[in-house]
Amino acid sequence: MTKAKQEVTPSYGSIFHAIEDKVKTVKFGPEFVATQITLTGNFGFQPLYIRVEDQIPETAPYEYHNADFYIDSNSEAMAAILNNKKSIYDAIEEGSVTVNGDTDKAIVFIHRFFG
């Protein structure tokens, strides 16, 4: 019996666990990349990071200093993206998600992770 995918809620814990689960399924390239995702919501500002080295991803609920790029998102938008109810590209266009830093690495990462 297959376990049903649980709906991601706009809480930090739910989003972090969804990202932690998703990162295990993504095929990353050989290049090193590190991003910090900062979520905003009723819990304030909370960071998490995804770091990929030698195609092995690591996720942790901490700041990542000197990340290649930074993703800032409100928790409602990120939950909708992780639930496949909104595309990351629509969220960026409407301003609920912003990306700053190394554009080339960000484009490749976003395509692989959220694409």
Q: Nearest Cα to 45, choosing from 86, 4, 73, 85?
A: 73
Q: Nearest Cα to 51, choosing from 95, 92, 20?
A: 20
How would DSSP label each residue in 37-77?
EEEEETTEEEEEEEEEETTEEEEESS--TT-SEEEEEEHHH
Number of independent structural domains in the chain = 1
Amino acid at 98: T
pLDDT digits (tens, 9 = 90+) for 33-88: 999 999 999 888 999 999 999 999 999 999 999 999 999 999 999 999 999 999 99
2 within a domain of the structure (yes/no): no
5 within a domain of the structure (yes/no): no
Tokens found for residue 25: 């399924």
Q: Please give the residue range of the domain that contains residue 31.
A: 12-114
50 within a domain of the structure (yes/no): yes
Mean of the pLDDT values across residues 77-106?
Answer: 98
98 within a domain of the structure (yes/no): yes
Q: pTM of the predicted model, to two decimals?
A: 0.92
CATH of the domain at 61: 3.30.1050.10
6 within a domain of the structure (yes/no): no
